[in-house]
Chains A and B, each alone.
Chain A
Amino acid sequence: MKSTRVHSPAAHLGDETISYGAKLPGRKIAPIRMLCKRISRQRTMFIVAVLGLAWFLLFSYFPMWGALISFKRYDFTLGILGSPWIGFDHFREFFQDADFLNILRNTIAISLLKLVFAFPAPIILAVLLNEVVHSGYKRFVQTVSSLPHFISWVVVSGLFYQLLSPSTGPIIPFLSRLGLTKPDLLILGEAKYFWAVAVVSDIWKEIGWIAVIYLAAITAIDPTLYEAATIDGAGRFRQMRSITLPSIASTIIVLLILTVANILQANFDQIWLLRNNSVVERAEIIDTYVFVQGIQLGRYDFAAAVGLFKSAINVMLLAGANTISRRMVGSSIY
């Protein structure tokens, strides 16, 4: 949409600026003048965009600057710039901490378990849903199963606490009647079950919503493909394998990239709310460690360093995964 035919009242102001400010000989107008003219033509929208950008500069970029305290012994009376520089000392302290390997192990283990179990589950659900003939029931299942995604983890963790209570919840008595557990098992108080609870609750909460996304992609597949396959004699499973899955492959790949690249991320909300003192050995992930060290214990500089370490690895993993995906499959995020 070129604006050369703009009739806005402000147009003539641009003309004035040019004739007034041009200093170069001949008819050539300096680029900076062109820029100013373009800006003044779009004054309002430009200001809006700049204000939007300013918001990001303040709330997103300025904290990146604040991450500098990772390399300093932060004293708030001296400010960020005034505090003494100590280089990588905080990082060294973190790597030498007795809990470091534990924390790293927990973070990666939870992410990998989710990758193995919670990542394929919505895909399977979407494919199954796609096979349902009755569209009313299909919509019903979609709506119901995606509902937990929109409930906060506070509520979900509360639900799981109640349901898993050995005295009042139904799950433990049910399992113990099957002989699988002892009847007074407090599952959320035992460290060895924590990862399982984290994965199961994650599936319960997210399977429906992600399946709905996949389903939307599946619905976009050309139905004549299926018709042709039926004529050729392909059964339902063959069609799934040869039509449905390959068509959503690029969606799956993109989400796979994001999931793998976020391996150090492991959902703070969920883990923090399910975590308690009995299960810390298996429940402490990088983000909860940062929270405890920084917000609870007030070691801002150290916690910022740990957080920066995690963010840096994240970005590298994301860039790497993106490149691999683009080379191998052709689809990528950016």
Chain B
Amino acid sequence: MITGTRGDKVFNVCNLAILSLLVLVTLYPFWYVLLHAFNDGVDARLGGLWLFVRKFSWANFRVIWRDGAVPRALVISVLRTAVGAGLSVLCISLVGYALARNTLPGRRLMNTLITFTLFFSGGIIPFYLLMRSLHLLNNYLVYILPNLLSAFLLIVVRTYFTANIPPSLEESARIDGAGDLRIFFSIVFPTSLPIVATVALFCGVMQWNDWFSGYIFMTKANKIPLQTILVRIINQARASDMVASQTGLSVSTTGRTGPTAESVRSAVMVFAIVPIVLVYPLLQRYFVKGVMIGSIKE
């Protein structure tokens, strides 16, 4: 912003140095995981594998591919993200639109009731008991139904529509005899792509990253998503780590090369990270915009 003085130049250099350090510290863990996913596991145990692949190997991914549980968990994650986020977007947009229209009777009451849920909740125990009594335990619907709506996203959408409903388009469509739903789907929804994209991204990330639902609501291991199975995998590896550090022994392996629990864990993590890393940089501004809209008071 201001240039010229020597103090400024020093500041700029320091600033860039700090920020570059931040970038490195942020990116390095991702590089580390990638490294260890593509490196031979037994070789990685020797330590010192920090910058470059020492012994390239596909074996870790092969273990995952052949194992029954992880590919299945991956498919479940993909499906629940697509279906869950898709349905959520539909419901949130529709309900948010309904709540935005100031002709709706009881609007203030409904909005207050919904906003209140942001501040107070019954807790996870009553929620768990509710899922149990709804027969949603060990049921794939437990990934979808409790996530159909979100108070935060509803407020974001509602705020957006309150400011952006195209009244003239709506009036002319109504004169032509179109009903409310038709107006929504043919006119309002297509022209609100930015906010729809934002909601879709938030829901998608939430579905993809959710490990807790599978953790407490599923007892059958074949119904859990990728993040939940990753928790199990990390726990096991963590346990062997602790044993090793306390007794000085490492868990024995059968050969000189090959995958280990830790290297396979890295490979699974790669799957958990890659979609986010690919999607986020391209769509960052939609996330920011969504939060901005949601924080503007009416």
Candidates A42, A152, A207; contact of B227 at CB < 8 Å: A152
Candidates B119, B167, B177; contact of A9 at CB < 8 Å: B177
Q: Which of A20-28, A93-101, A110-118, A303-311 is near enough to bind chain B?
A: A303-311
* B154 & A52 in contact (Cβ 8 Å cutoff): yes
* B174 & A184 in contact (Cβ 8 Å cutoff): no
* B273 & A304 in contact (Cβ 8 Å cutoff): no
User: Known contacts being A146-B284, A162-B33, A168-B49, is A45 close to B101, with CB within 8 Å?
Assistant: yes
Candidates A9, A55, A140, A276; contact of B149 at CB < 8 Å: A55
* A154 & B44 in contact (Cβ 8 Å cutoff): no
* A147 & B26 in contact (Cβ 8 Å cutoff): yes
Q: Which of B56-64, B78-86, B121-129 is near enough to bind chain A?
A: B121-129
Q: In the assembly, what is the distance between CA of A67 and CA of B126, in Å?
A: 6
Residues of A within 8 A of B1 (CB): 131, 133, 226, 236, 239
Q: In the assembly, what is the distance between CA of A148 and CA of B262, in Å?
A: 21
* A39 & B49 in contact (Cβ 8 Å cutoff): no
Q: In the assembly, what is the distance between CA of A189 and CA of B247, in Å?
A: 14
Q: Contact residue range for chain B?
A: 35 or more
* A157 & B245 in contact (Cβ 8 Å cutoff): no
Residues of B within 8 A of A1 (CB): 101-103, 165, 167, 170
Q: Closest CB-CB distance, B39 to chain A, in whole Å? A: 10
User: Is A155 an interface residue when CB atoms closer than 8 A count as contact?
Assistant: yes
User: Is A51 an interface residue when CB atoms closer than 8 A count as contact?
Assistant: yes
Mark interface residues in A273-307 (1 if CB within 8 Å of B CB, else 0).
10010100000000100110011000010011001
Interface of chain B residues 230 through 247 with chain A (CB within 8 A)? 230-231, 234, 237-238, 241-242, 244-245
User: Is B221 an interface residue when CB atoms closer than 8 A count as contact?
Assistant: no
User: Is B187 an interface residue when CB atoms closer than 8 A count as contact?
Assistant: no
* B113 & A53 in contact (Cβ 8 Å cutoff): yes
Q: Closest CB-CB distance, A188 to chain B, in whole Å? A: 8
Instruction: For B134, give the chain A residue with the smallest CB separation.
Output: A58
User: Is A3 an interface residue when CB atoms closer than 8 A count as contact?
Assistant: yes
Q: Which of B66-74, B191-199, B204-212 is near enough to bind chain A?
A: B204-212
User: Known contacts being A48-B98, A186-B245, is A158 close to B124, with CB within 8 Å?
Assistant: no
Residues of B within 8 A of A175 (CB): none
User: Known contacts being A9-B177, A162-B32, is A318 close to B269, with CB within 8 Å?
Assistant: no
* B291 & A213 in contact (Cβ 8 Å cutoff): yes
Instruction: For B178, give the chain A residue with the smallest CB separation.
Output: A8
Residues of B within 8 A of A259 (CB): none
Q: Closest CB-CB distance, B127 to chain A, in whole Å? A: 5
Residues of A within 8 A of B103 (CB): 1-3, 38, 41-42
Q: Closest CB-CB distance, A58 to chain B, in whole Å? A: 8
* A35 & B105 in contact (Cβ 8 Å cutoff): yes
User: Is B159 an interface residue when CB atoms closer than 8 A count as contact?
Assistant: no
User: Known contacts being A53-B113, A133-B1, is A44 close to B179, with CB within 8 Å?
Assistant: yes
* B32 & A159 in contact (Cβ 8 Å cutoff): yes
Q: Closest CB-CB distance, B75 to chain A, in whole Å? A: 18
Q: In the assembly, what is the distance between CA of A39 and CA of B170, in Å?
A: 19
* A216 & B125 in contact (Cβ 8 Å cutoff): no
Interface of chain A residues 128 through 171 with chain B (CB within 8 A)? 128-129, 131-133, 137, 140-148, 150-155, 157-163, 165-168, 170
* A56 & B151 in contact (Cβ 8 Å cutoff): yes
User: Is A61 an interface residue when CB atoms closer than 8 A count as contact?
Assistant: yes
User: Is A64 an interface residue when CB atoms closer than 8 A count as contact?
Assistant: yes
Mark interface residues in A71-113 (1 if CB within 8 Å of B CB, else 0).
0000010000000000000000000000000000000000000
Q: Closest CB-CB distance, A204 to chain B, in whole Å? A: 7
Candidates A55, A207, A287; contact of B148 at CB < 8 Å: A55
* B180 & A42 in contact (Cβ 8 Å cutoff): yes
Interface of chain B residues 19 through 71 with chain A (CB within 8 A)? 19, 22-23, 25-27, 29-30, 32-33, 36, 44-45, 47, 49-50
**15 A-B pairs with C-beta separation under 8 A:** A49-B99, A52-B114, A56-B149, A63-B121, A66-B126, A69-B129, A152-B210, A154-B231, A161-B234, A213-B291, A236-B8, A269-B212, A287-B124, A308-B122, A308-B123
Q: Which 10 A-B pairs have the closest CB atoms?
A: A66-B126, A307-B123, A63-B122, A52-B95, A152-B209, A63-B126, A60-B117, A44-B180, A304-B125, A64-B122
Taking Cβ atoms with an 8 Å cutoff, the residues of A that contact B are: 1-3, 6-9, 35, 38-39, 41-46, 48-49, 51-53, 55-56, 58-67, 69, 76, 125, 128-129, 131-133, 137, 140-148, 150-155, 157-163, 165-168, 170, 173, 184, 186, 188-189, 204, 207-208, 212-213, 216, 226, 230, 235-236, 239, 254, 269, 273, 276, 278, 287, 290-291, 294-295, 300, 303-304, 307-308, 310-311, 314-315, 318, 334
